Structure 1
Amino acid sequence: MIKLITFDLDNTLWNADPVLINAEKVLYQWLQENCPEMASRYNIKAMGDYKAAIAADNPELLHRVSALRLEALRRAMLDSGYDEAIAYQQAKQAFDVFHAARQQVTLFEHAERLLQGLSQRYQMAALTNGNADVSIIGLDRYFNFALSADEIGRQKPHPDMFYAALERAKVRADEVIHIGDHPEQDIMGAYRAGLHTIWVNFDALPWREGIACEASTEESISEAPTTPSAVANCLSEIPKLICEIENSTVK
């Protein structure tokens, strides 16, 4: 019997790309108005390159997107001539501006109705590598808890986030279905942790082609499951797929 449903957030329940692009623009506008020295030194692309360089030099930040962005902003403030105290203060304000804009999402069709229906039958958890916050977005009423890579210290597909969800919900791996769009981070990661999986595949890609598009290495591809437990081309298909997985597990 399935007892817990875990959901990825970005690109599973909403399109993350326009959200993040807009958040970067909102952040840069704030910097132009409040930190013109930094804004004149770093445009949006330059800030992205700067952040990537810091991640490369600080692997402990690779799995913590909020901490990485805050550190990049702080260092950029210092490089732009701000002293230490003001640099941190301004960086924190800038991050808060970005973080608020990052929560302005538009849910995919069927997403909220899906969450509402499932939350009446199962424990629900949000598992994200990013810093989307279901409490700010207004979806926390559907989730029993949410876990992020910032909190866990490891991004999916590393199993730590999945294991933390099992411990939090007091369930076994075979009592959980993870639902997500990313073949490696979501489906392969959950599979390795022993969970059932539903691949949200809006583009109707063949499974092997989807892996080839998203997996980071050939070794990752070779470790992938033959197929996910189920594939959803539309969020409205998920309740039926969950029932099919449940029926297949009944002995």
Structure 2
Amino acid sequence: MQIFKALNSISVLSFDLDDTLYDNKPVIAAAEAAMLQSLAKYAPITANYDSEFWWQQRRMLAKTTPEIRHDMGRWRLLGIEAGLIHLGLTQCEAGEIAELAYAAFWQARTTISIAPDVTQLLTELARQYQLIAITNGNACIKKMGLGDVFAFSLQAGPDGRMKPYPDLFLTAAKRLNVKPEAILHIGDSHRADVLGALSAGCQAAWLDHYQTPVTVLPHIRLQQLQQLQRFISS
């Protein structure tokens, strides 16, 4: 752990989810596979199109509707629909199949196993602090077994613009009736989590997996999540 700035009094610990509490890469890979399987089942014409094709559909959608990026779930759903229309399906057919394919994606995307030591750490931290989750994605804290640990979860899209915009942090502070500086946000993304937290007036702990050099420093830098044990004994 490296401390770059003195920490103010903390009453809330805010956690990013993807790649902070678990490795998100295999989760997304499984979700993409489930989506492709569903598409091939309900629209056989898609069988020869891989994830890159569907990513390009989302990219084109974002060019015409930039704000869609703030809601990952809706962006993916509408990207699937746009791709199906591009392949010749009617809008009605595309909409129905997109819903089925996205449901398959979301089911796999929210099937996440949290390591026992992480669950234990969060449980111990929750005895001293209010814990919340702030995520740009759409993982579900209840489905991953953390519904009783976190007070609530805020997601980009339904709850505001994605990090690094300050919306979600400010919404959390207002909901908890605390000043933003009473929140320490922990996340793996320097841009989304560190810059986002700082822009909202929160404190920031960066879980730096790759020891990346930066110019804007967080309050603390963590090499591993378990270093938060320090807050339990302090």
**So what's the TM-score if we normalise by structure 1?**
0.83
Letter in 1 for 2:189: H
Q: In the alignment, which residue of structure 1 is the partner of 2:40? A: 32
SS at match of 2:112: coil
**For residues 3 and 23 of structure 1, what CA distance do their matches in structure 2 show?**
35
Q: Select between 104-113 and 18-27 the one with higher mean Cα deviation.
A: 104-113
Q: In the alignment, which residue of structure 2 is the partner of 1:155? A: 162
Decide whether the 8 Å contact of 1:27 with 1:94 is kept in 2: yes
Letter in 1 for 2:71: R
Q: In the alignment, which residue of structure 1 is the partner of 2:180? A: 173
Decide whether the 8 Å contact of 2:32 with 2:51 is kept in 1: yes
**For residues 117 and 225 of structure 2, what CA distance do their matches in structure 1 show?**
6
Q: In the alignment, which residue of structure 1 is the partner of 2:19? A: 11
User: Which residue, 67, 79, 94 being the options, matches 1:87?
Assistant: 94
1:72 aligns with 2:79: yes
Q: In the alignment, which residue of structure 2 is the partner of 1:22? A: 30
Decide whether the 8 Å contact of 2:112 with 2:143 is kept in 1: no
Letter in 2 for 1:80: L
**For residues 109 and 11 of structure 1, what CA distance do their matches in structure 2 show?**
16
1:18 Cα deviation after fit: 1.5
SS at match of 1:68: helix
1:124 Cα deviation after fit: 1.3
Task: Kindly indicate whether structure 1 or structure 2 has the higher relative contact order, using CA contacts under 8 Å at least 6 residues apart.
Answer: 2
Per-residue deviation, residues 200-243 of structure 1 (Å, max 9, x unmatched): 1234x15xx1x3xxxxxxxxx5xx2xx32222212211131576
SS at match of 1:46: helix
1:120 aligns with 2:127: yes
1:103 Cα deviation after fit: 1.5
**For residues 43 and 143 of structure 2, what CA distance do their matches in structure 1 show?**
26
Q: In the alignment, which residue of structure 2 is the partner of 1:231? A: 221
**For residues 233 and 206 of structure 2, what CA distance do their matches in structure 1 show?**
15
Cα distance 1:143–1:154, how it changes in 2: closer, same or farther (>3 A)? same
Decide whether the 8 Å contact of 1:8 with 1:127 is kept in 2: yes
1:132 aligns with 2:122: no
1:118 Cα deviation after fit: 1.4
**So what's the TM-score if we normalise by structure 2?**
0.89
Runs of 4+ in 1 over 4 A off after TM superposition: 241-244
SS at match of 1:155: coil
SS at match of 1:137: coil
User: Which residue, 2, 8, 18 being the options, matches 2:10?
Assistant: 2
**For residues 59 and 179 of structure 1, what CA distance do their matches in structure 2 show?**
27
Gapped regions of structure 2 (runs ≥ 5): 1-8
1:11 Cα deviation after fit: 0.7
Decide whether the 8 Å contact of 1:131 with 1:150 is kept in 2: no
1:109 Cα deviation after fit: 6.4
**For residues 195 and 90 of structure 2, what CA distance do their matches in structure 1 show?**
45
Decide whether the 8 Å contact of 2:183 with 2:202 is kept in 1: yes
Decide whether the 8 Å contact of 1:230 with 1:241 is kept in 2: no
- Count residues with an aligned counterpart: 226
Letter in 2 for 1:239: Q
**For residues 55 and 137 of structure 1, what CA distance do their matches in structure 2 show?**
30
